[in-house]
Amino acid sequence: MAKRLGLLAVLAFAVACGSSTPTTPTPAQANLSATMTPNPVTATVCSPSCPATDGSGRLFQWRVQGTLTIQENAGVGGTINSITVTAFNPQIIYTSDVIAQRSGTTRIAAKGALLFPVTIIYGLVDNPAASRSIVMPFLVSFTDDRGNSVSTVMQWATN
């Protein structure tokens, strides 16, 4: 009988102690970060000039290329709606179909990342005041799997 009571006491003690593993709270919404590589980027001269891709006939002086990495950090996946480069008038807006074409998807898994290749031509040939060195803000618009609208901004510098 004493053995039984001793065994029951040990079992009761083990159950009372429980697990020491802390519980991680579930995030309320996604958290994004964005980085561009390389940053800063060295612009190359368009020789003789780079034509606009929109059929407008405009010609540009410089070109930069890089990769925008968009990372979800909280543990809530979702979909990129758009990427907007706000440095220009009109703004450059990459819609979800362009993002899917270049990256293979618009989806970012929880704690996942998406790589988006970027090529930008800038500095109108007929603008003698156009600067080779600029800073381009990128605004990433995202809807997470819980329906929250989330965005992040990063800056890409040229030299």
Rounded-to-integer distance, Cα 125 and Cα 76, Å: 44
**Mean pLDDT (the chain, rounded):** 90
77-126 tens-digit pLDDT: 999 999 999 999 899 999 999 999 999 999 999 999 999 999 999 999 99
- Architecture of the domain whose range is 27-157: Sandwich (2.60)
pLDDT at 13: 44
Residue 59's Cβ-side half-sphere holds a number of Cα atoms within 13 Å equal to: 8
Beta bridge partner(s), residue 62: 45, 122
The tens digit of pLDDT for each residue in 51-69 reads 998 888 999 999 999 999 9
For the chain, give the percent of residues with pLDDT over 90: 81
Mean pLDDT of 11-36: 74
Alpha-carbon torsion angle 108, 112, 118, 123, nearest 10: 90
Half-sphere exposure of 83 (CA within 13 A, CB side): 30
Give the start-to-end residue ranges of the domains of the chain: 27-157
Q: Is 5 a residue whose pLDDT tops 70?
A: no
As a whole-number percent, the residues of the chain with pLDDT over 70 amount to 87
pTM value?
A: 0.83
